[in-house]
Amino acid sequence: AVSRRRRSPQRCYTGYMPATRDLVRLDACGDPADLIVRFLNTLDVEAGTDAIDTLDGWASWLSAQGLQGCFGPQDASALERARELRGDLRALASGRQHAQGRQVDIQVSLTVDGQLELSASTAAGLLAAAAATVAIQERIDRVKICPADDCRWAFYDTSRNRSRQWCSMKVCGNRAKARAHRRRSAPV
């Protein structure tokens, strides 16, 4: 005999949320991991530049990603949220623990075919949705920051065993190997 457990109506899902017109769907941006890497690389440590240090730079970056006009005019608080999110994601990608938690508005929907769909009404929300998607797909550990102090470039690790360390073996990896060789071969 099968017995049915009674469910508390307060703990049960009661229905679907109506679609909101002012949300931007994440699938409009291609692979979310690529979007996250491009976002992290708005800070260029080697060149000493920050592509989103001003509102114009932030609007310009959004435009380059095909997101111009999707979120309306950007203001100083939207830029600040984006920069804070970038700092959190860079800390995560470089393997540092980052205690600061941030709330970002994301809408989660269930599609007809049973897939999750993330969307957001703000640019920072869309970027957080991209990071959440990559985390759900268990690929967030593939988004890394080059450990070279003069580089710190973000990249996506495509190696089979997820062991890639440098953004480029030809540049940063070669420099690190040459330094290690010089240390080992130096007279004591």
Rounded Cα gap, residues 101 and 74, in angstroms:
23
169 vs 121, higher pLDDT: 121
For the segment 101-153, what is each residue's pLDDT rounded down to a tens digit? 677 888 888 888 888 888 888 999 999 999 999 999 999 999 999 998 889 99
Q: What's the pLDDT score for residue 173?
A: 79
Give the per-residue pLDDT at 165.
Answer: 86
Q: Are strands 116-120 and 107-110 parallel, antiparallel or unpaired?
A: antiparallel
Backbone dihedral angles phi then psi of residue 83, each to the nearest 5 degrees: -65, -40
- Cite the beta strand spans of the chain per DSSP E: 24-25, 43-44, 49-50, 107-110, 116-120, 143-145, 154-156
How confident is the model at residue 17, as a pLDDT?
46
Question: Mapping DSSP to helix (H, G, I), strand (E, B) and coil, where does residue 70 land?
Answer: coil
Contact 30, 120 (CB under 8 A): no
CA 48 – CA 88 distance, rounded (Å) = 19
Residue 33 host element (H or E): helix 32-40
- pLDDT band of residue 3 (cuts 50, 70, 90) is very low
CB-based contact 74:54 (threshold 8 Å): no
Residue 26: per-residue pLDDT: 65
| pLDDT on residue 28 | 59
Give just the sign of the alpha carbon dihedral 24, 30, 31, 34. Answer: negative
Angle (CA) 174 177 180, round 5°: 150
- Token pair for 111: 């599609």
The pTM for the full model equals 0.79
Condensed to tens digits (0 to 9), the pLDDT of residues 59-94 reads 999 999 988 878 888 999 999 999 999 999 999 999
Q: What is the pLDDT of residue 15?
A: 46
Burial grade of 34 (CB within 10 A; 0-12, 13-18, 19 or more): middle
What pLDDT does residue 20 have? 45
Which pLDDT does position 150 carry in this prediction? 86
Rounded to 5 degrees, φ, ψ at 135 are -65, -45
* pLDDT tens-digit series, residues 7-65: 444 444 444 444 444 666 666 567 999 999 999 999 999 899 999 999 999 999 999 99
